[in-house]
Amino acid sequence: MPIYNAPTKDMQFILHDMLNVAASDIPGYADLDRDFTGAILDEAGKIAGQVLAPLNPVGDSQGCVLENGVVRTPDGFKAAFDEVREGGWTGLDMPEEFGGQNMPYIMGITITEMFSAANMAFAMYQGLTHGAASAILVHGSDQQKATYLPKMVSCEWTGTMNLTEPHCGTDLGLMRTRAEPQDDGSFRISGQKIFISAGEHDMADNIVHLVLAKIPGGPEGIKGVSLFIVPKFIVNEDGSLGARNGVSCGKIEEKMGIHGNSTCVMNYDGATGWLLGEEHKGMRAMFTMMNEARIGVGVQGLAQADAAYQNAVAYAHDRLQGRDVTGDKNPDGPADPLIVHPDIRRSLMDQKSFIEGARAFTLWGAQLIDRAHRGKDDEADNMISLLTPVLKGFQTDLGFQMTIQAQQVYGGHGYIEETGMSQFARDARIAMIYEGANGVQALDLVGRKLGLNGGKTVMAFFNLVKDFIKQNEANEALKKGYLDPLKAASKDLQAAGMYFMAEAMKNPNNALAGSNDFMHLFGHVCLGLMWAEMAKASYSALDAGTSDTEFYQSKLATGRYYMARHLPATAMHLARIRSGAEPVMALEAARF
C-alpha cells in the first residue's frame, strides 16, 4: 500500500520562513501565526494520510458504477466524505455567513494539496463543489446564495461545472445546449454535456450543476453563452428538497485514471434552471473563478508528484540492488540500497527540487490571490492572472513527468498496479488536460497574458526578479549558487519575450509556435525565483542560529540542484522559441 505523509514542515517553512504570512498586511493574514497554521496543517495531514490515502487504491480498482441511473462510489468514499465534512474541511476559506471559516485562500490551497496527494479522485468531489460555490458567491443573487451556499459550503450538496459538449471543448462558442426562458423566470435546459466530474454520485443529498447554455436569439458564438444553476433536486422555498429535475447521468466514462471520480455524460432533458449572473455573460462568470480553479489543478500536478516521490524514496531505501561504486554502504547485506546509485539520486533530486519549488510557487500564487481579493490589490490580481497559466501548465506537465520518474525508480515493480505507482502517473495525467489543456494555457500566456495591462504586468514580474537579485547579491553564497543562475534564466525569458514582440508583428505564428516552450521557460524562472527566496530564508535561519540546521541545509542543497540541473532548460527553450514558426509550419497539413 502506498504511503503519504503530509508535507506540513515544508509548508510551514514556506508560509513563515519564506512568505512570512503573519506579518503580511493582507486582511486575515495576521491570524496565521506558526502555531495556528501548524495545528491546521497537522490535523489536515492526519485526514489525508490516515483516511484518504488508504482509499486511493480502492477508488482506482473499484471505480464508480452506474446502475439504474444511480452512481455508486467506491467502498469507503462516503464515510470518508462524512469525516471530511464533519471536520469542517470543506468550508475552510468560505465566508462565515454561509458556514465557512473565512480563512485565507492560502490555507485552503495547502489542504487542497494534501487531499489531492492522498486521493485525487476523492478530493475532486470537494474541489468542484468549492468552484461552483465560488461562482454562486460572486455572481448569485441573495436568494441563490441563501438557497445553495450553506449546503455547498458544508458539502451536504456537491457541485459540478458543465462546459464541454461532445463536439466542443476549448471552443465553447460551438456549444449547442439551449436554455428556453419560461414565464416564471426559470429556463428549460436541453442538451448533452460530457466529461462532467462528480456529475452523479451517492455521497450528497443534492447536486448543484452549473451549466453553460445558449438562450435562443442571443448573440452568436461565445458571446451568447449564459450560466445556469440546475440542481438535481429542485429546492423548495423552505429549503427542503422537491421534485427530481430533468437531468440524468447517461454514462460513466472509462478513463486512464481518477477512477474514483465519476466522470459523467449528463443529459439535460428540459431541466429547470435558473440564470446565474447576467444573460450572455456566462463566460465572464466562469472566468471569475478560473484562476482559482486552474491553480487548484496546478496543485494536483505537484501533489501527485509528491505522493509518488515519497513512495519512490521509501523504495529506494528499502530495495537492495547493486553496490555503490565508491564503496559498499551496506556491507553486511547482499547489496546496497538503490538510493546509493547516482542515477537514482539524480531522479529523486529532480523530483524533490521540483516539488518543493512548485509548492512555494503555488503558495506565493495563493498569497497573490488573497492580496487581490482580500486586499483589493489590482496589481496582485494582474500578477496572478499572468502566472496562472504557468502554474497550471508547467506544474502539471512537470508533475506528471515526475510521477513517471518516481515510477521508474521501482523498475518492473512500478509497472504492476499493486505498488500504486502506476496510479499516481495515470491520475496525474488528467491535470495536463482538464481546466484548459496545457496547450491552451500556453496560448493564454503568450496570446493574452503577456500583453496584459499593456505589458506592464510582465515587466513587473521581470522587475521583481531583478530587484530580488539586486537586493541580495551582497550575500556571496546566495549570489553564486542561486542568484547568478536565476539571472541567466531570467535573461533567457526576457529574450524570449523580446523575440515574440519583434517577430509576432511579422507573423503571429512566430509567437504561437513557441508558446509551449515559453510557458516552460517561464515556469523554470518562477521556480528559480522561489528557490532563490527559499535559499535566502534558509541562510537567514542558519545565521540566526536555528537548531534545525539539517532542514535548512537540505533546503540549500535541494535548491542548488534545481539551479544546476533544472534551470539549464531555459536556454534550450529559448533556442527553440527563436527558431520561430518556419520549422513548425513548413510542412503542409496534408503531408503529416
Active site residue 379: no
Q: Does residue 75 interact with a second copy by CB under 8 A?
A: no
Q: Does residue 376 interact with a second copy by CB under 8 A?
A: no
Q: Which one of 302, 340, 369, 450 is in contact with a second copy (CB under 8 A)?
A: 340
Beta carbon of residue 126, minimum distance to a second copy (angstroms, whole number): 21
Q: Which one of 30, 256, 477, 505 is in contact with a second copy (CB under 8 A)?
A: 256
Per-residue contact flags (x/-) with a second copy for residues 313 to 332, judged by CB under 8 A: x--xx--xxx--xx------
Total residues at interface with a second copy (CB under 8 A)? 93
Q: Which one of 42, 75, 86, 343 is in contact with a second copy (CB under 8 A)?
A: 343
Q: Which one of 352, 371, 373, 520 is in contact with a second copy (CB under 8 A)?
A: 352
Q: How far apart are CA 176 and CA 178, in angstroms?
A: 6
Q: Which one of 74, 389, 399, 414 is in contact with a second copy (CB under 8 A)?
A: 414
Q: Does residue 342 interact with a second copy by CB under 8 A?
A: yes
Q: Three-state SS for 59?
A: helix
Beta carbon of residue 221, minimum distance to a second copy (angstroms, whole number): 9
Q: Does residue 417 interact with a second copy by CB under 8 A?
A: yes
Q: How far apart are CA 423 and CA 430, in angstroms?
A: 12
Q: How far apart are CA 446 and CA 40, in angstroms?
A: 38
- Which residue is catalytic, options 113, 165, 435, 533? 435
Q: Are 400 and 432 in contact, with CB atoms under 8 Å apart?
A: yes
Q: Three-state SS for 3?
A: coil
Site for a second copy, residues 138 to 167, rule: CB under 8 A: 164, 167
Q: Which one of 443, 478, 486, 537 is in contact with a second copy (CB under 8 A)?
A: 443
Q: Does residue 395 interact with a second copy by CB under 8 A?
A: no
Q: Which one of 87, 270, 439, 451 is in contact with a second copy (CB under 8 A)?
A: 439
Applying CB under 8 A, which part among 230-238, 292-300, 423-431, 471-479 lies near a second copy?
Answer: 423-431
Strand partners, 230: 209
Q: Of 538, 537, 501, whose CA–CA distance to 518 is shortest?
A: 501
Distance between first and last Cα of the chain: 44
Helix crossing, 515-543 with 569-578: angle to 10°?
160
Residue closer to a second copy, measured from CB, 253 or 379: 253
> What residues have CB less than 8 Å from 56, skipping those under 6 apart?
2, 118, 119, 120, 121, 122, 260, 420, 423
What Å distances lie between residue 346 and 271, 350, 578, CA to CA?
55, 6, 30
Site for a second copy, residues 545 to 564, rule: CB under 8 A: 550, 554, 557-558, 560-561, 563-564
Q: Does residue 357 interact with a second copy by CB under 8 A?
A: no
Three-state SS string over 85-119 comes to HHCCCCCCCCCHHHCCCCCCHHHHHHHHHHHHHHC
Applying CB under 8 A, which part among 43-51, 89-97, 229-237, 336-344 lies near a second copy?
Answer: 336-344
Residue closer to a second copy, measured from CB, 382 or 570: 570
Beta carbon of residue 458, minimum distance to a second copy (angstroms, whole number): 20
Q: Does residue 5 interact with a second copy by CB under 8 A?
A: no
Ranges of beta strands (E only) in 27-110 are 65-67, 70-72
Q: How far apart are CA 432 and CA 429, in angstroms?
A: 6
Q: Does residue 349 interact with a second copy by CB under 8 A?
A: yes
Site for a second copy, residues 80 to 99, rule: CB under 8 A: none
Q: Which own/partner pairs from 35-40 qualify as long-range (CB within 8 Å, at least 24 positions apart)? A: 37/11, 37/12, 37/107, 37/110, 38/8, 38/12, 40/103, 40/107, 40/110, 40/111
Strand partners, 207: 158
How many C-alpha atoms does 336 have within 13 Å on its Cβ side? Answer: 15
Helices (DSSP H) in 140-185: which residue ranges?
142-153
| Residue whose entry in the numeric block shows the C-alpha cell 551582497 | 474
Q: Does residue 432 interact with a second copy by CB under 8 A?
A: yes
Applying CB under 8 A, which part among 112-120, 177-185, 239-247, 569-577 lies near a second copy?
Answer: 569-577
Residue closer to a second copy, measured from CB, 293 or 443: 443
Q: Which one of 29, 98, 125, 195 is in contact with a second copy (CB under 8 A)?
A: 195
Retrieve residue 99's grid coordinates.
Answer: 458556514
Q: Which one of 23, 70, 79, 174 is in contact with a second copy (CB under 8 A)?
A: 174
Known catalytic residues are: 435
